[in-house]
Amino acid sequence: MTIVYLILAIVVAFAAYVRVAPTNVEKFHRLTEFTADADEESGVKRVISGDAATMAKLDQIAQATPRTKVLAGSASEGFVTYVTRSAGFGFPDYATVKLDGGTIKIHSRLRFGRSDLGVNGKRIKAWIDALGAM
């Protein structure tokens, strides 16, 4: 029975840490250079056509996503990072969006673990699909 309590305590401690761990804004509010879409184990990179108006619409879509808030930057600056937390444990995923000339680059990735199980790809696809519907 002691082992069960120990395992339970570890799970609760990890869940608490995931929710309250400070975010290093400088680490996540940046965009590595890329020019094409890429699917990675930890997230996705997408490049779409767009301008400042597209960026503003994408910002509305992102901020309407459940459990999502702006971490740093703004759409009006053309560079913003959002954090979206999972419903259960509250795992944070970071999506950085940058207006770069006539394109918008999106890099969405996890913070904890190795694989996001496709969650970031599904979220960014939903954002891009919603953008096309506007």
For the chain of 134 residues, list the mean pLDDT of each consecutive stretch of 10. 87 81 90 93 96 97 97 97 91 96 96 90 97 80
Question: Please, how many CA atoms are within 13 Å of residue 132, restricted to the half-sphere of its CB?
Answer: 8
What pLDDT, on the 0 to 100 scale, is given for residue 17?
Answer: 81
Quote the CA–CA distance of 36 and 42 in Å, as a whole number. Answer: 17
What pLDDT, on the 0 to 100 scale, is given for residue 134?
Answer: 66
What pLDDT, on the 0 to 100 scale, is given for residue 55?
Answer: 97
SS3 content of the chain, % helix, strand, coil (to 5): 40, 30, 30
Check residue 98 and report its DSSP letter. E
Q: Rounded to two decimals, what is the model's pTM?
A: 0.89
Helix residue ranges, H only, the chain: 2-20, 25-28, 52-64, 119-133
Neighbours of 52 (CB within 10 A): 12
In the chain, the percentage of residues whose pLDDT exceeds 70 is 99
The correct answer on CATH 3.30.310.80 for the domain covering 24-133 is yes
Domain ranges of the chain: 24-133
What is the average pLDDT value for the chain, to the nearest integer?
Answer: 92
Quote the CA–CA distance of 96 and 31 in Å, as a whole number. Answer: 7
What pLDDT, on the 0 to 100 scale, is given for residue 92?
Answer: 95
What pLDDT, on the 0 to 100 scale, is given for residue 44?
Answer: 97
**Which two tokens mark 88?**
């259960």
Closest CA to 60 of 119, 118, 134, 125: 134
What pLDDT, on the 0 to 100 scale, is given for residue 88?
Answer: 80
What pLDDT, on the 0 to 100 scale, is given for residue 90?
Answer: 87
